[in-house]
């Protein structure tokens, strides 16, 4: 269509001419846990260094890794370690994860469960709940209330952390069937409004007002809370490094971003959102 082509040409001409620096933006995709930190870092870099950075969170941690592998993103944000299936899926990609901090995943419960006295669960109990063999809170020391387990969408870093904890050494977790929630806020909100609900969530998001974080009961029958020192020392089992990943050695804008995240200013952002700085881990 003549008119269509002309209009298109005009629009393109305007679009091209409105930019002073026609630079390719740095594309970042991935985990909603790391998003707040990287978003704020990107804002600063945009203002101070004039970098063009776009960020998206579709698909969570696995979405970020996949996008990086497919070449649809330059930097992937992942709140779980890379595993073998990632590398198998993208054999030609040189994944370079850089840890910018650490975060813990807690089992969080609805107010009724917390106020019913439950404060901790052991791995075996969590396994039972996850697989559906334990159906009522009174079987694990809580009130007489049906357990409603909210599973996280496939691809969420938290899910990988949980299954690695529950099924160490096994390649795949058993199939389960639960209602799904996606990002951290949806998880928190739906757990807070469903009686007897339990899910697993990035610890800083458990605000102790709407949802409550449980401790993990270990083999010695003592309860480990998800506090800073416990996470740093590794005694709290469900913790995960927060990664920004590049394909190959980071360069250009990606390098600027990563350097910033590792600097004091960037690490302050990590702490601001409740995660552990690298310095805290030593």
- Cα separation, 209 vs 49, in Å, equals 39
Work out the burial of residue 92: count CB atoms within 10 Å of its CB; fewer than 13 is exposed, 13-18 middle, 19 or more buried.
Answer: exposed
Residues 62-121 binding another protein (CB under 8 A) are: 62-63, 66-67, 69-70, 72, 89-90
Q: Name which of 185, 171, 226 is nearest 203 in CA terms.
A: 226
Q: Which residue number, 39 or 235, has a Cβ lying nearer to another protein?
A: 39
- Cα separation, 261 vs 41, in Å, equals 7
The DSSP output letter for 164 is: H
- Rounded to the nearest 5°, which phi and psi values hold at 94? -100, 90
Minimum CB distance to another protein, residue 4 (Å): 4
The DSSP output letter for 142 is: S
Residues 141-170 binding another protein (CB under 8 A) are: 146, 148, 150, 153-155
Q: Which residue number, 53 or 104, has a Cβ lying nearer to another protein?
A: 53
Q: Which residue number, 253 or 276, has a Cβ lying nearer to another protein?
A: 253
Size of the site for another protein (CB under 8 A): 68
To which residue do tokens 């910018």 refer? 100
Which residues of this protein are in contact with another protein, per CB under 8 A?
A: 1-4, 7-8, 11-12, 15-16, 18-19, 22-25, 27-28, 32, 35-36, 39-40, 42-43, 46, 52-60, 62-63, 66-67, 69-70, 72, 89-90, 146, 148, 150, 153-155, 172, 175, 177-186, 189-190, 193-194, 197, 205
């Amino acid at each position: 269509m003549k008119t269509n082509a002309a209009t298109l040409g005009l629009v393109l001409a305007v679009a091209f001419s409105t930019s002073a620096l026609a630079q390719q933006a740095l594309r970042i995709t991935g985990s909603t846990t790391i998003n707040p930190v990287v978003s704020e870092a990107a804002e600063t870099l945009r203002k101070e260094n004039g970098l063009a950075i776009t960020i998206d969170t579709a698909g969570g941690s696995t979405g970020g890794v996949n996008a990086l592998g497919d070449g649809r993103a330059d930097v992937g944000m992942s709140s779980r370690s890379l595993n073998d299936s990632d590398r198998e899926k993208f054999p030609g990609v040189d994944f370079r994860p850089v840890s910018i901090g650490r975060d813990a995943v807690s089992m969080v419960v609805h107010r009724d469960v917390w106020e019913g006295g439950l404060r901790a669960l052991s791995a075996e109990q969590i396994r039972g709940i996850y697989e559906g063999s334990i159906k009522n809170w009174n079987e694990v020391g809580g009130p007489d209330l049906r357990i409603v387990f909210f599973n996280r969408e496939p691809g969420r870093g938290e899910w990988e952390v949980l299954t690695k904890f529950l099924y160490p050494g096994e390649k795949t977790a058993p199939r389960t069937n639960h209602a799904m929630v996606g990002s951290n806020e949806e998880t928190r909100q739906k757990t807070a409004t469903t009686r007897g609900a339990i899910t697993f969530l990035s610890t800083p998001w458990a605000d102790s007002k709407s949802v409550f974080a449980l401790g993990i009961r270990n083999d010695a029958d003592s309860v480990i809370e998800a506090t800073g020192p416990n996470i740093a020392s590794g005694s709290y089992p469900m913790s995960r490094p927060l990664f920004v990943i590049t394909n190959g050695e980071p360069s250009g804008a990606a390098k600027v971003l990563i350097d910033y995240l590792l600097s004091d200013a960037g690490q302050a952002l990590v702490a601001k959102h409740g995660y552990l700085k690298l310095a805290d881990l030593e």
